[in-house]
């Protein structure tokens, strides 16, 4: 006796989006575009500053320190939106190059205050033109109105998404406590 043949259930396979469409979607996503812009921006910074020496993170650190004398490490981390470990590593490098000094203030033995040394101020001054050159190269494809709009849009994104950031960004107020 022949048993009726059982039919295999039909599995619906979703139609795949053609690969070219998937790539177009990827290339249009802000996370891809912002990542690519960051790569280009970092390359411009490194290229322009190669003879002067600071990385973009080091430049950020010494810029904040110059504007905020005697700042504590934790405040510095918040003023840049960096984690404390990253800031500590950068500070160690800057200290080993004789650019900054870390001191223990009398009011708080658990905190370290940061002071920019003359060599750090000199580096910051030397880096100004190369950093501006990197910025100009990055913004060159945009006209003045687009440049302004780009900065405003990035500020709106960072402010609007701040609550989701891994590390808090708290711009340092010169009149605020430094710890």
Residue 36 has pLDDT above 80, yes or no: yes
The C-alpha atoms of residue 54 and residue 97 are separated, in whole angstroms, by 11
The predicted pLDDT at position 21 comes to: 80
CA distances (Å), 159 to each of 9, 154, 155, 169, 171, in order?
A: 52, 9, 6, 9, 12
The predicted pLDDT at position 108 comes to: 65
Query: Higher pLDDT residue, 69 or 127?
Result: 127
Residues in Cβ contact with 156 at an 8 Å cutoff, skipping those fewer than 6 apart: none
Q: 35-145: what fold?
A: Arc Repressor Mutant, subunit A (1.10.10)
Quick one: tokens of 26? Answer: 């990827």
Query: Higher pLDDT residue, 119 or 2?
Result: 119
The C-alpha atoms of residue 128 and residue 123 are separated, in whole angstroms, by 9
This prediction has a pTM of: 0.80
pLDDT band at 3 (very low <50, low <70, confident <90, very high): low
């Amino acid at each position: 006796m022949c048993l009726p043949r059982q039919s295999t259930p039909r599995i619906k396979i979703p139609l795949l989006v053609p690969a070219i469409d998937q790539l177009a979607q990827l290339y249009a996503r802000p996370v891809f575009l912002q990542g690519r812009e960051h790569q280009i921006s970092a390359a411009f910074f490194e290229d322009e500053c190669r003879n002067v020496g600071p990385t973009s993170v080091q430049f950020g650190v010494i810029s904040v320190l110059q504007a905020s004398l005697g700042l504590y490490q934790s405040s510095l981390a918040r003023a840049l939106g960096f984690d404390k470990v990253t800031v500590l590593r950068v500070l160690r490098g800057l200290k080993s190059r004789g650019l900054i000094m870390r001191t223990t203030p009398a009011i708080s033995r658990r905190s370290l205050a940061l002071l920019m040394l003359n060599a750090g101020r000199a580096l910051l001054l030397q880096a100004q033109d190369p950093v501006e050159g990197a910025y100009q190269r990055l913004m060159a494809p945009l006209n003045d109105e687009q440049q302004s709009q780009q900065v405003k849009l990035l500020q709106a994104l960072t402010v609007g998404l701040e609550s989701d950031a891994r590390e808090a960004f708290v711009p340092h107020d010169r009149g605020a406590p430094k710890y």
